[in-house]
Amino acid sequence: MSGQLKEVRLRIVSVTSTQQITKAMKMVSAAKLRRAQDAILQMRPYTQKMQEMLTNIVSSLSGDMELPLAAERVTERVLIIPITSDRGTCGAYNSNVIKAARQTIESKYAAQYAKGNVTILPVGKKGYEYFQRHGYKLVDDYWNLFADLSFENVRRAAIYAQEAFLRKEYDRVELVYSQFKNAATQVFVSEPYLPIPKVEATESKKQTDFIFEPSKEVLIQELMPKILNTQVYKAILDAHASEHGARMTAMDKATENAADILRSLKISYNRARQAAITTELTEIVSGAAALQG
């Protein structure tokens, strides 16, 4: 009986220690989430308006001038950019991003993948390790962007994708990431990146007529890469906030589970202790009765 009590006591100590760790990790993630959330909420309106403007410009200029980054080609070679995290302990966040990337390949580019024409440019250590382990073709120069997250570092990855598209190494580029909604909700999306998507003009929503100053050739040449760089940066900020939200939620749930386990262990410990005391009292009474007899 004493052995059983000792085992339960050790488990209580172990679970209490784990609960303290998960509670601390939750607090750290909450602080990081606040900063990451502020960053994406400030960036998102600007990026969305710039993307909308770029799409409208590309659509309105279609046929008027050559736009290499908007050139539609037969899709033979594809680049997928999945954005995961560098660390785990964030629930199913990383596996959901990887699942979304695989579903994109299976649903849109199964024929290209069968020919070996699908390449992965992973951002984040977890995605890099998964796709490397499963034998995918990789561009492994940008997976550690979260080690020093800045616009300049993200810009290098965006420029690589743009230049590779212009060299016709890839006919299509897609971003796969998690859009941040709140700490408990992330939406996993596959977003076309290159060629720049066009919108069809309709009677209800006509394309915007732009006045260009300086000339549209000069403006488009300068504006288009900057907007595309910003699009990748926004996706990475979305993923960064989603990661911390998922980790905070996972650690909060782990802390609650530890509390439930502790309650159960304490009940088991008290029952075992009461049984041990009852047994000892019975033995004492039986010994006293035997002596009197």
Q: What span, in angstroms and rounded, lies between the C-alpha atoms of 192 and 174?
A: 5
What total of structural domains would you count in the chain? 1
Residue 241 included in any domain: yes
Residues of the chain with pLDDT under 70: 1-3, 60-65, 199-212, 215-216, 293
Q: Per the structure block, which two tokens stand in for 22?
A: 């998960």
Q: What span, in angstroms and rounded, lies between the C-alpha atoms of 16 and 251?
A: 14
Residue 258 included in any domain: no
Residue 62 has what pLDDT?
59
Residue type, 131: F
Residue 63 has what pLDDT?
60
Alpha-carbon 12 to chain mean position: 34
Residue 289 included in any domain: no
Q: What span, in angstroms and rounded, lies between the C-alpha atoms of 285 and 293?
A: 12
- Does the pTM surpass 0.85? The reply is no
Q: What span, in angstroms and rounded, lies between the C-alpha atoms of 60 and 87?
A: 43
Residue 272 included in any domain: no
Q: What is the CATH number of the domain that holds 213?
A: 3.40.1380.10
pLDDT digits (tens, 9 = 90+) for 203-237: 444 555 666 677 667 777 778 888 899 999 999 99
Residue 226 is part of which domain span?
20-251
Indicate which residue of 36, 83, 90, 239 is catalytic: 90
Q: Are strands 118-120 and 172-182 parallel, antiparallel or unpaired?
A: unpaired
pLDDT digits (tens, 9 = 90+) for 104-148: 999 999 999 999 999 999 999 999 999 999 999 999 899 999 988
Residue 164 included in any domain: yes
Residue 284 included in any domain: no
Residue type, 120: I
Q: Catalytic residue at 89?
A: no
Residue 109 included in any domain: yes
Residue 282 has what pLDDT?
81
Residue 15 included in any domain: no
